[in-house]
């Protein structure tokens, strides 16, 4: 639901450009629309710095409910805004304001959701359970793209410019209420509740459970800067490739190759549905073979396949576009299905929500949200339709280096948390393995 709300904007970028940024030049309109898209990412680190430490202090559940409330308000408000033709200058100003509220909310979303799932999941199946987070992200984006595709097909460009663009934004309000209800029904994670318990005796320190929840920013930057830098590098590589495919590609197909907006969105929806079908299996593979092999496969995939994929897409035929997008999609799913289990394991429980929110959102702000804007500018400056491929390859190269230096965390307890098991048999095996060997 959170990513349905956030994804709507990117799929309506061309329409929003016409409604809120009237200009005689299509490229200027598009750049203005993508600049507003990027604005949401500029405030995401602020949201991460506010919500992250708050999640370490008052609990994961409360903060996740709050982020859902703010996102629903911001999205529904955009759907009610008057157009530039109605109120002039104030129309894009209000759009930017509510887009910033969306970004602020999202700053606490990924770090909290991935922390929540990672802390609930059994150690041996954290990759599988974590992959459902990105399954939800893809489902949200697919729902948004699907709704925009249907509306565009039914109403046409004139109908969308007139009033149709408002419908996906207004759907956010009832969806947000459902999301808030679901999140308030959840219990907080066992790892956080254990951390919160002030009555834990000192003797239990041997189980490596940290007994303070002061996840303040100073501690994060001072003590955990190494994993923070690694997190930023990994997320930067992952986000550039992610937003290039899932946010920018429909615009690339329509603006650079002359496809209708409906065709571009439909191709993307098909790609995302395929990714949804395989993402949980990628999570399973990361539990079995480790996070690093799967992440490395995804990064190398983008490094090697980006140029061939875009050459196929540039041919313009539907089979060629489908093949190119599938090549990029299969590389991306190796990252999607693994990252949500790999990133939370980099940080200890007491600062996990805060550290992950800060690192993830700084990187996403610098590299993810700016991707459509940078690619549009690169194509304009270079005159080459291959600019997106070169940008993705550069990002993947950084990702290869980051993956090579990270530690393997599959099938191990989270730092600062007790072991997590799924069955009584697993628990018995764990206790038996930890029992001291008798000496005579």
Residue in the structure block whose two tokens are 């318990």: 197
Of 282, 328, 287, 291, the closest CA to residue 307 belongs to 328
Whole-angstrom Cα distance, residue 396 to residue 28? 29
**pLDDT per residue as tens digits for the range 209-239:** 344 434 478 888 889 999 999 999 999 999 9
Whether 292 shows a pLDDT value over 90: the answer reads yes
Q: Going by C-beta distance under 8 Å and a sequence separation of 6 or more, which residues neighbour residue 355?
A: 52, 215, 220, 224, 227, 228, 231, 346, 347
User: 274: Cβ–Cβ under 8 A, 6 or more apart, which residues?
Assistant: 326, 329
- 3-class secondary structure, 407: coil
82-127 tens-digit pLDDT: 988 888 888 888 999 998 998 999 999 989 999 999 999 999 999 9
- Write out pLDDT tens, residues 330-376: 999 999 999 999 999 999 988 999 999 999 999 998 998 788 888 98
Q: Tell me: the pLDDT tens digits for 165-183? A: 999 999 888 888 888 888 8
Q: For the CA atoms of 44, 46, 49, 51, what is the dihedral angle to 10 degrees? A: -70
312, 315, 317, 320 alpha-carbon torsion, rounded to 10°: -10
Report the distance separating Cα 250 and Cα 19, nearest Å.
19
Phi, psi at 310, each rounded to 5°: -70, -30
How confident is residue 433, by pLDDT bands cut at 50, 70 and 90? Answer: confident
- Other C-beta atoms lying within 10 Å of the C-beta of residue 318: 12
Cα 108 off chain centre by: 11
**CA distances from residue 434 to 203, 289, 358, 428 in whole angstroms, order as listed:** 17, 24, 35, 10
pLDDT value, residue 297: 97
């Amino acid at each position: 639901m959170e990513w349905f709300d956030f994804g709507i904007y990117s799929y309506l970028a061309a329409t929003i450009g016409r409604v809120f940024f009237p200009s005689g030049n299509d490229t200027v309109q598009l750049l203005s629309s993508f600049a507003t898209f990027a604005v949401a990412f500029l405030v995401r680190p602020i949201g991460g710095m506010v919500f992250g430490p708050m999640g370490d202090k008052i609990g994961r559940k409360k903060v996740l409910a709050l982020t859902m409330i703010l996102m629903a308000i911001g999205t529904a408000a955009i759907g009610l805004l008057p157009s530039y033709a109605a109120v002039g200058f104030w129309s894009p100003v209000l759009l930017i304001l509510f887009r910033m509220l969306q970004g602020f909310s999202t700053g606490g979303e990924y770090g909290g959701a991935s922390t929540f799932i990672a802390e609930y999941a059994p150690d041996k199946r954290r990759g599988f359970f974590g992959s459902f987070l990105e399954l939800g992200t893809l489902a949200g984006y697919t729902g948004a793209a699907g709704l925009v595709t249907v509306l565009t097909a039914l109403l046409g460009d004139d109908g969308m410019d007139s009033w149709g663009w408002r419908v996906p934004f207004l759907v956010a309000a009832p969806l947000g209420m459902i999301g808030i209800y679901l999140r308030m029904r959840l219990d907080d994670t066992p790892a956080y509740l254990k951390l919160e318990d002030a009555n834990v005796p000192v003797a239990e320190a041997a189980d490596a459970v940290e007994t303070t929840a002061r996840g303040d920013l100073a501690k994060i930057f001072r003590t955990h800067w190494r994993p923070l830098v690694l997190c930023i590098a990994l997320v930067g590589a992952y986000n550039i490739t992610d937003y290039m495919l899932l946010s920018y590609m429909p615009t690339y197909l329509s603006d650079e190759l002359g496809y209708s907006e409906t065709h571009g969105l439909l191709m993307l929806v098909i790609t995302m549905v395929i990714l949804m079908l395989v993402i949980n299996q990628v999570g399973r593979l990361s539990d079995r073979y480790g996070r690093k092999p799967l992440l490395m496969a995804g990064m190398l995939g983008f490094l090697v396949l980006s140029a061939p994929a875009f050459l196929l897409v540039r041919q313009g035929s539907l089979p060629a576009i489908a093949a190119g997008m599938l090549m990029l999609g299969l590389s991306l799913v190796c990252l999607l299905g693994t990252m949500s289990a790999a990133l939370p394991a980099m940080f200890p429980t007491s600062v996990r929500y805060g550290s992950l929110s800060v690192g993830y959102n700084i990187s996403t702000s610098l590299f993810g949200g700016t991707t459509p804007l940078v690619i549009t500018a690169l194509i304009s400056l270079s005159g080459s339709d291959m600019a997106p491929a070169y940008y993705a390859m550069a990002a993947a190269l950084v990702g290869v280096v980051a993956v090579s230096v990270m530690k393997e965390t599959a099938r191990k307890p989270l730092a600062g948390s007790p072991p997590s098991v799924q069955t009584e048999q697993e628990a018995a095996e764990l206790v038996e393995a930890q029992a001291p060997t008798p000496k005579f």
